[in-house]
Structure 1
Amino acid sequence: MSHDDGYGSDSGRTGDGYSTIGGTRQTRTRLPDGEGGDGYGPRRPARNSRSLVTVVGVIVLLLAAIAFANMGGGDGSDGDGASGSNGKKAGAAPTAATGTKPVTGKNGEIASGFAHDQQGAESAAANYSVALVSADILKPAQRAQIVRQVFVTGRVGELETKFNQAYNKDFLDKIGLDESGNAAEGMTYVSRTAPVGTKVTQFADASATVEVWCTGVFGTAGVGSTNPVSNDWFTMTLKLQWESDDWKVDSFSQKDGPAPVNTDRTASNADEIAKAVEEYGGFTYAR
């Protein structure tokens, strides 16, 4: 992956064909996807404290919002080796990066100009996963821009409406954000996603289905936060279409894991987390 400091510094998601709305799940928002896939927002590890009850409540709300927003397709059920309309099968690919530059340009803060091939579809899916689970998806102004940049033209109107309904004032209040999607003074809302790998399960000349294995950090950093920043592992499935000389998302979904065993490393304090989010830039992801 090539470093790109200008690429989104925060992340979020949901659960129907669009289960990856950013920021709600804790810093990351997901749109609800079908069959248990909330599309956006990772789940937090279990905690043996009263804050766990609050966290669980927030997560349930996020998942509900995601499921509502993601009502369009993509259940992530495509299996390995599924053939595309042109008869090609998506076989196993090497896990190492290819070293090929992923894109030719950027559309705002989101990478664009992906190659019209399988590798380009994987790079597009990885970059779009980051955008869809970003904290910006919770902000009305940025949300509209993200939806128009990421989704196929025919889905934009429908998804703008669903996202707005899912992330309304009541929802934002419950996760400690104002109507503009901003945290209270002294708090920092975190939603940062990092793709770990990609896998194509279907590929044709004008369509592709790609699974993106992700990890990330999500929550609110600050003294007295009831939604502390934690990490999560999840897999997003994005169904892409080739439109206007680029790969765009038609629908998406999300499921938990695969997740490794947590270590006993001491957690950083809220100030350290907030500082890291502000100082460390994001990346443009390549296959």
Structure 2
Amino acid sequence: MSLGDEHGTSGGYADTGQTRTRLPDGDPYGGAGRRGRSSSRSLVTVVGVVVLLIAAIAFANRGGNGGSSADGSNDKPATSATAATGDSPVRSKTAGIPTGFPHTQQGAQSAAANYAVALGSAEMFNKAQRHRIVDTVYAPDSAADRQAALDSAYSNESFLSNIGLAKDGSAPQGQTFVSRIIPVGTKVTSADSDNATVEVWYTSLFGLSGEASTNPVSESWYTTTYELRWVSNDWKVTDFRQKDGPVPVGRDQKASTADDMTKAVEEYGGLTYAR
């Protein structure tokens, strides 16, 4: 039995459910590359968490000459827009993370996007908050193993030092730690009644905002594929894999000042994602 597609039903599941969710606070900011990035990113990737950085990025708007055939028809591939609202928006939360997604492909996409945001947040650097996040987004039989791997990574003093954080994951005095993932789009690559594979394309912000920061907030682009399973009336993560890009051409912009970046981080809240 298959989950319904975005415009119909199949396998008994109405595929009109869509979800919106509040994401952890954070912000965009452009800056120079950070030291120790290669080793830090490698370590985080191994344990299954992508914590990368992003800045107030402007997509390079490049006008195209083509896109239409000789007969005037548009030969560009069709896209599926992300809906701003849904018929069955998620209203419940667990540990501050939206839960209770619809048992549909749209619900799986919403779950993947919002879980990616939680797993890429600054809260992951606090042990108690990290445990709550992992217990919430992972399937019970996967959470325990993931917790152990993450605890080992996030307690690594060399890793924390490379990104400018103290042993407890806190930022130096006078600086603000930024870690936020911003999903750009999602798609289901396979699904049946109780399993779904969802790709989340996103950009992220990561670094320390402050005058004395040696790791200013910068940006990265990735696509993470989440394996989801329907468990206890909700979608939960069982595994994931990540790859670089697609990466847009960056526009030549002047990086914001540390004060402007810190102010943005404090004033701009997260967005709601729905499919």
- TM-score normalized by structure 2? 0.76
Q: Counterparts of 1:119-268 in structure 2 under 5 Å? A: 119-170=106-157, 171-268=159-256
State the distance in 2 between where 1:168 and 1:119 align: 36
On the 8 A contact 1:102/1:285 being kept in 2, the answer is no
On the 8 A contact 2:199/2:226 being kept in 1, the answer is yes
Structure 1 SS opposite 2:168: coil
On the 8 A contact 1:172/1:181 being kept in 2, the answer is yes
Structure 1 SS opposite 2:133: helix
Cα-Cα RMSD: 2.5
Q: 1:152 to 1:95 in 2, by over 3 A?
A: same
Aligned to 2:40: 62
State the distance in 2 between where 1:221 and 1:229 align: 6
Amino acid in structure 1 at the alignment position of 2:218? S
Deviation at 1:184, TM superposition (A): 0.3
What are the superposed Cα offsets for residues 93-117 of structure 1, whole Å, 9 maximum, x if unpaired? 7224263144131112211110001
Aligned to 1:7: 23
Structure 2 SS opposite 1:114: coil
On the 8 A contact 1:65/1:167 being kept in 2, the answer is no
On the 8 A contact 1:151/1:250 being kept in 2, the answer is yes
List alignment gaps of at least 5 residues for structure 1: 12-26, 28-43, 72-91
Asked if residue 283 in structure 1 is aligned to residue 249 in structure 2, the reply is no
Asked if residue 95 in structure 1 is aligned to residue 81 in structure 2, the reply is yes
Structure 2 SS opposite 1:129: helix
State the distance in 2 between where 1:182 and 1:245 align: 36
Structure 1 SS opposite 2:197: strand
State the distance in 1 between where 2:99 and 2:171 align: 30
On the 8 A contact 2:37/2:162 being kept in 1, the answer is no
Amino acid in structure 2 at the alignment position of 1:7? L
Deviation at 1:176, TM superposition (A): 1.4
Deviation at 1:2, TM superposition (A): 8.3
Amino acid in structure 2 at the alignment position of 1:234? Y
Q: 1:98 to 1:205 in 2, by over 3 A?
A: farther
Amino acid in structure 1 at the alignment position of 2:150? F
State the distance in 1 between where 2:257 and 2:139 align: 41
Asked if residue 106 in structure 1 is aligned to residue 93 in structure 2, the reply is yes
Larger Rg: 2
Deviation at 1:169, TM superposition (A): 4.1
Structure 1 SS opposite 2:85: coil
List alignment gaps of at least 5 residues for structure 2: 1-17, 50-77
On the 8 A contact 2:26/2:269 being kept in 1, the answer is no
Q: Percent identity?
A: 45
State the distance in 1 between where 2:20 and 2:81 align: 19
Aligned to 1:23: none
State the distance in 2 between where 1:107 and 1:7 align: 13
